[in-house]
């Protein structure tokens, strides 16, 4: 099996990432089918020490930070995240190195017999794209004998394939309304789904949350006798400086203080860094050797593109994958903080299953110069839908059918002192990254 054959085989499984509004939480749905597959594979998900991360926003950034620090501390560390920008291989890495095409194909060839044996005469649910990929990641990390695996939940938590791991520490990043058709229509319902990753007796790092979310998760932790660390209470931080490419902060931890510089922008990344440090302090407390220097050095090296990410200056081009109301509100707040006096052009495209009216409401105060577009992805909202929402608010927008055309139009309108912000989905951001890299 070569890489293209491995991808083709993976694509033969239903992929809910490409189908809007499909609920995985159908009555009776559970993880027994994935559990059975992993059992046949020898339970590779249990081979490495695990850090498991759920939340609505920030979970990928926190995962990347924790993984980088662990690598900097001398631990061989696997990182599993989603989605990807350009290649599926971005989702699975070890010490910052993506799984190679040969390694991916080899891993798929090794797990395929177990999958095929499941397909024959089983009454269990059929496996999905994400479940197969997650199983492959577990097998790859076990084969490579990683010391730690840092796992980002794909969706929710309780019924996510990553939830068959056995974490030392779970991190629950900020929770807000998103994927409501799947996870629930209230913050409490969504919080309960995310808290499904909490295991009896494990540690839980809780990022700052709305009161109703914190209440749900605190109750789950009590029920499961999990030990909770609250970011913002048990561990705090304050910003000490920033420029267009990095920001500095002091994190007051439970065990030490850390003076940190991170090459990621936006106030939300300060909170993410504090959450990462809280988890790393737990690991240090549990006997793993992670020094203050390791933490400071690792955070200085972290890479996580596409989130408040400046691609060029003159004009400034900023990309951000904000795709729900809370994330867009945060993006607008950070743009106003960093670029208060710039004229702003917005290039906007999002997915059809998002709260488009709510997202547009957040964007309206920022700019009346808007170009709407769509990514080449099956879940992309038609530009006409976006136009209608802006029109209701008295804003005339331009339409460009592709992200590249929209960016080109914005560049033609902007002068050297302006800001172009490309946002609305990670799929749109991926195409913007391609545009500016010549891809």
Q: Which domain holds residue 249?
A: 3-301
What pLDDT score was predicted for residue 396? 87
Note whether 156 and 209 are same-domain residues: yes
Q: Which residue among 241, 273, 301 closes a domain?
A: 301
Note whether 391 and 426 are same-domain residues: yes
Distance CA 363, CA 325 (A): 10
Residue 431: CATH number of its domain: 3.90.190.20
Distance CA 73, CA 90 (A): 22
The answer to whether the beta carbons of residues 191 and 176 sit under 8 Å apart is: no
Residue 242: CATH number of its domain: 3.40.1190.10
Note whether 252 and 368 are same-domain residues: no
Note whether 80 and 213 are same-domain residues: yes
Low-confidence ranges of the chain (pLDDT < 50): 23, 179-180, 182
Note whether 18 and 83 are same-domain residues: yes
Q: Which residue among 266, 284, 301 closes a domain?
A: 301
Q: What is the number of domains present in the chain?
A: 2
Note whether 66 and 111 are same-domain residues: yes
Q: Which residue among 255, 278, 301 closes a domain?
A: 301
Report the side by side order of strands in the sheet with 97-98: 97-98, 92-94, 77-80, 148-152, 49-54, 167-172, 203-206, 227-230
Q: What is the dihedral of CA 68, 70, 76, 81, to 10 degrees?
A: -50
What pLDDT score was predicted for residue 180? 47
């Amino acid at each position: 099996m070569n890489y293209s054959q491995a991808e083709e085989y993976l694509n033969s499984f239903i992929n809910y990432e490409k189908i809007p509004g499909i609920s995985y939480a159908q009555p009776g749905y559970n993880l027994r089918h994935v559990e059975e597959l992993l059992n046949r594979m020898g339970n590779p998900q249990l081979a490495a020490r695990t850090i498991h991360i759920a939340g609505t926003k920030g979970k990928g950034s926190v995962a990347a930070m924790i993984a980088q620090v662990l690598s900097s501390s001398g631990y061989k560390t696997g990182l599993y995240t989603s989605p990807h920008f350009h290649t599926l291989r971005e989702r699975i890495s070890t010490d910052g190195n993506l799984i190679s095409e040969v390694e991916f194909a080899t891993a798929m060839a090794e797990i395929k017999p177990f999958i095929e044996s499941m397909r024959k005469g089983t009454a269990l649910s059929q496996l999905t794209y994400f479940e197969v990929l997650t199983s492959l990641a577990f097998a790859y990390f076990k084969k490579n004998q990683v010391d730690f695996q840092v796992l980002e939940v794909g969706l929710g938590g309780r019924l996510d394939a990553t939830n068959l791991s056995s974490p030392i520490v779970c991190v629950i990043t900020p929770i807000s309304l998103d994927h409501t058709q799947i996870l629930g229509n209230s913050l409490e319902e969504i919080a309960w789904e995310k808290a499904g990753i909490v295991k009896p007796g494990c540690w839980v790092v809780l990022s700052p949350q709305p009161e109703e979310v914190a209440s749900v998760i605190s109750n789950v932790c009590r029920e499961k006798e999990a030990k909770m660390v609250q970011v913002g209470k048990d561990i705090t931080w304050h910003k000490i400086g920033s420029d267009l490419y990095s920001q500095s902060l002091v994190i007051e931890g439970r065990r030490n203080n850390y003076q940190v510089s991170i090459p990621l922008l936006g106030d939300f990344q300060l909170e993410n860094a504090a959450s990462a440090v809280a988890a790393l302090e737990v690991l240090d407390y549990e006997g793993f050797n992670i020094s203050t220097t390791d933490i400071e050095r690792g955070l200085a090296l972290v890479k996580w593109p596409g989130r408040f990410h400046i691609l060029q200056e003159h004009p400034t081009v900023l990309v951000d994958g904000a795709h729900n109301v809370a994330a867009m509100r945060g993006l607008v707040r950070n743009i106003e903080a960093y670029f208060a006096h710039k004229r702003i052009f917005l290039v906007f495209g999002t997915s059809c299953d998002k709260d488009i009216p709510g997202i547009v409401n957040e964007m309206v105060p920022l700019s009346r110069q808007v170009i709407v577009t769509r990514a080449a992805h099956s879940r992309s909202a038609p530009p006409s839908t976006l136009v209608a929402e802006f029109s209701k608010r008295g804003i005339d927008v331009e339409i460009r059918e592709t992200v590249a055309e929209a960016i080109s139009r914005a560049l033609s309108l902007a002068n050297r002192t302006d800001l172009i912000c490309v946002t609305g989905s990670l799929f749109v951001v991926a195409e913007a990254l391609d545009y500016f890299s010549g891809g």
